[in-house]
Chain A
């Protein structure tokens, strides 16, 4: 690691001020991604603003029936929280499908949104990468791109956002609460992360110095009919090749409301609202799900070693929607069976 200074923030305003007064500084939450990136010399901050003593670790009910997840609540405490298990089991499953128990105990909710891609070339200082070094080129295009994206990619970057939790969040559509040098604001989750375009070095739409303070989940949690389906190279402790978060609201066999988001396919958690609209009013049948799946990947583009993801995504969408419609998924006790 390169040398840096460290300060421990005790209030959000102090953290924002401290960050603004140090160029090349970073906020430090659980550290599970940032410290690794610093060891790899991919991140080289000269100052860290330590957040872990800020009072942002609570999970609390909101007056509108929603739930506020503190930015510093750990992924583990969030997944196993009673309200999350009973009302947002999709989120419970997605979090527990990711990383390892040790990492989930340290990693924070805010940090989960802020983690960087695991594209091989982003970590490999010997090769060009537009995300790591803007303008240097993309080694994944024409290179080994098994883990890379098939939707919303650009000529600059085909990296994916690696999170499981964020795929469930994309489906549940919370607002992201942030504080920054210009005050507080909220960002709709779908607008938080961005597509690479010609600025792949920017993962999200935060303004400089802004700090995530929490996530406000809306009341609707799709707790009866949902599925988080994760497909990966080994059955535990691996990033998704494809993941699908599906939530359905059914009246009889008719779909009244639907949410559908994919992981492992794009620079951001990929929510497809057109596909959701296609599902609404339709019978919850395999035929419906096949048509919707075909639509989701209609514009997908493979890059060689990830061509398989197009067909895999299609099949995963159908399976996840079927599981959601069957309504026999539960929180926590089925995290072992996300690949039945």
Chain B
């Protein structure tokens, strides 16, 4: 497993900082990363593990593109340090389905035309899985409110709502 950030070969980049080993369990696989403590969970996923499905949008917890599941609960991975998550089970979009075997939410997003550019989609789907795990949203109004932490700049909200509602209605847990 490569242990270097993808930009470390660039000219003029400062010497890498002191690192320490951090054990992370991602999508059921154990990883040992040698990273600085200020590495966010998002950067650990993208830059060290090359799990680039999780997206960096605002990097300030405002857009939801970086949403992942920690022990089944959705959080913003940009506002969390990787070192905080030793012992946790982290699920990213790569852990929810495969191109050959789509997760029900992924299939529903395709069926309902729930994206245009697709940049927010992994976060939307992880967030929707978190919403389903929480079990508090049943009506359209409740789904709208409890998906409010995910912004879609293309404005595909109608499709997103329909996709999430379909999976909620089918009672598919995961």
* A and B part of one assembly: yes
State the A residues within 8 Å of B (CB). Answer: 1-6, 8, 28, 30-32, 35-36, 38-39, 48, 50, 52-53, 76, 80, 99-103, 105-106, 236-237, 332, 335-336
Q: Contact: B84 with A31, CB < 8 Å? A: yes
Residues in A with CB closer than 8 Å to B83 are 6, 8, 50
Answer yes or no: B76 CB below 8 A from chain A CBs: yes
If A32-B61, A36-B61, A48-B37 touch, whether A236 touches B145 (CB-CB below 8 Å) is: yes
Stretch in B4-12, B67-75, B103-111, B153-161 with 4+ CB within 8 Å of A: B67-75
Collect the chain A residues with CB atoms within 8 Å of residue B146's CB: 101
Q: 6 smallest A-B Cβ distances: which pairs?
A: A100-B149, A6-B37, A236-B148, A237-B148, A1-B38, A106-B75
- Residues on B lying within 8 angstroms of A by beta carbon are 17, 36-38, 40, 59-61, 64, 67, 70, 73-76, 79-81, 83-84, 86-87, 127, 130-131, 134, 136, 141-142, 144-150
> With A and B bound together, what is the CA distance between A334 and B127 in angstroms?
22
Between-chain CB contacts (< 8 Å), 18 pairs: A2-B38, A3-B36, A3-B38, A6-B83, A8-B83, A32-B76, A35-B40, A36-B79, A38-B38, A39-B59, A50-B84, A100-B149, A101-B148, A102-B67, A103-B75, A106-B76, A236-B145, A336-B142
A36 touches B74 (CB 8 A): no
B contact residues around A53 at 8 Å (CB): 87
Among the listed B17, B76, B81, B87, which residue makes an inter-chain contact with A102, where contact means beta carbons less than 8 Å apart? B76
Is B17 in contact with A103, judged by CB distance below 8 angstroms? no
Alpha-carbon separation in the docked complex, A199 to B148 (Å): 36
Known contacts A100-B149, A102-B61; is A35 also within 8 Å of B80 by CB?
Answer: yes
Question: CA separation between A250 and B112, bound complex, in Å?
Answer: 50
Instruction: List 15 other contacts, CB 8 Å, given A102-B75, A105-B75, A336-B142.
Output: A3-B17, A3-B36, A3-B38, A28-B81, A31-B84, A35-B80, A36-B60, A48-B37, A52-B84, A100-B148, A101-B131, A102-B74, A103-B149, A105-B130, A106-B76
- Which of chain B's residues have a CB closer than 8 A to the CB of A32? 61, 76, 79
Contact A4 B61 (CB under 8 A): no
Residues in chain A near residue B75, CB distance under 8 A: 102-103, 105-106
* Bound: A70/B136 CA distance, A: 23
* A residues near B84, Cβ cutoff 8 Å: 28, 31, 50, 52
A23 to chain B, nearest CB (A): 17
Please name all residues of chain B whose beta carbon is closer than 8 Å to the beta carbon of A2 when the two chains form the complex.
Answer: 38
**CB-CB under 8 A for A336 and B81, given A101-B149, A236-B148:** no
